[in-house]
Amino acid sequence: MPAPLPVGEPTPKPKPSLSVLQRRWRKFKTIKRGYYSFVIMLTAYAISFFLPVLINSKALVVRYNGEFYVPLFRYYPASTFGMDAYGEPDYRALAQQLREQNAGNWALLPPYPYSPVESLLDLPGTPPHAPSAEHFFGTDDRGRDIFARLAYGFNVSMSFAIIVLLISYVIGIWVGALIGYFGGKLDMLGLRLIEIWSSLPFLYTIIIVSSIVVPIYMPGRNLLLQPSFWMLVAILTLFDWMGITYYIRGEYYREKSKDYVGAAIAMGASDWKIMFQHILPNSLTPVISFAPFFIVGNIGALVSLDFLGFGLPAPTPSWGELIGQGMENLTKWWLVAYPLGAMFLTLLLIVFIGEAIREAFDPKSFSRLR
């Protein structure tokens, strides 16, 4: 028998029981390779939204003749700063000029003052230029800084993959829930339509659409406002949602025969409430487990389309376009090594995350029979 507690000692409170999701999160954190990969990817993706402040050819703030200017958010002609030039000034040259004048005027540049779409034609020799102290990864065959294009390309690829994943998951979960819960003729008809649609060749559809709709790049607008970006999202979503539909359908067939569903029906719950408040939370294992691998597939699809010339319009920063340049300039090792290295590292970290999630969500880990 356990020893009695001393007189006056408070009875210890029982530890609160952890939910399955909390236990899975704890299990995920114990898988160091996947957890650290998740932290690295989440941090890198969050930082990528601040790239205009970190990697850009425009000055963050300019002080000129007692006035402050913010070129990052507004266009200023070169004449505003007393420069004899047309259009927007070269802010690197402006910063150097203001330092030499030493008249209380100054320009604050980003830490890496080069734009991903800026052709550096003033460099000696002909592009592509080898890596240097000013250009960490060199320049491409059009004189654009590779490091800047890779950094912006990371944000483009991750944003594209995540947006396609979310839209595809919404459609796939809805369709899978409907045909899995109601079954019968709806299930048979739905599966036949999905099989017919999935038989359409994805690449040929992209080629046909690209030949009809001309991609348009709009300088000065955020990528998420570009019509070509959303056109690719829509096309890939049309083919991507079917994968999760099969898994959700199977989960609904398995869950709807359990006692808690019968109890909800006996209490008069509606079909929609049973489908999305009772069954869906218990059917999220494949949704969460396969999400990292869907992201890998979406990134690979965008890179492949850009490599073949059917992706985002030039001069949008793109890993696939850089890899295509590397294939055409195999003697320029930086055009091959850096884009492939960035893509390999990104996909490797995402795969590590996916493996850790799959292990953490393994139902055998929390089975009472183990």
| Type of residue numbered 137 | F
Mean pLDDT for 306-317 is: 84
Which residue reads 């990697």 in tokens? 55
pTM: 0.87
Instruction: Convert the pLDDT of each residue in 243-262 to its tens digit.
Output: 899 999 999 999 988 898 98
Residue burial 17-40, b: 16+ Cβ < 10 Å; e: rest: eeeeeeebeebbeebeebbebbee
Nearest to 318 by CA among 308, 326, 307: 307
Q: Is 211 exposed, middle or buried (0-12, 13-18, 19+ CB in 10 A)?
A: exposed
Pairing of strands 67-69, 106-108: unpaired
Q: 346 pLDDT exceeds 60? A: yes
pLDDT in tens, 222-233: 555 566 788 889
pLDDT tens string 47-100 = 999 999 999 999 999 999 889 999 988 889 988 888 887 888 999 999 999 988
pLDDT reported for residue 368: 47
Rg (CA), the chain: 27
CB 168 within 8 A of CB 294: yes
Checking if the pLDDT of 370 tops 50, the result is: no
Pick the CATH number of 146-366 from 3.40.190.10, 1.10.600.10, 1.10.3720.10, 3.30.420.40: 1.10.3720.10
User: What's the rounded Cα separation, in Å, for the pair 122 and 120?
Assistant: 6
- Per residue in 188-210, pLDDT (tens digit) is 999 999 999 888 887 777 777 76
According to DSSP H, which parts of 131-289 are helical?
Answer: 146-182, 184-198, 202-212, 227-255, 259-266, 271-273, 285-289
Residue for token pair 């139902």: 363
Task: Tell me how far apart the alpha carbons of residues 261 and 263 are, in angstroms, rounded to a whole number.
Answer: 5
**pLDDT at residue 215, as a whole number:** 61
pLDDT in tens, 120-179: 878 888 889 999 999 999 999 889 999 999 999 999 999 999 999 999 999 999 999 999
CA 242: distance to chain centroid? Answer: 20
Find the Cα–Cα–Cα–Cα dihedral 216, 222, 225, 229, rounded to 10°: 60
Query: Higher-confidence residue: 45 or 215?
Result: 45
Looking at the chain, the whole-number percentage of residues with pLDDT higher than 90 is 49
Domain boundaries, the chain: 57-108, 146-366
> In which element (H, E) is residue 14 found?
none
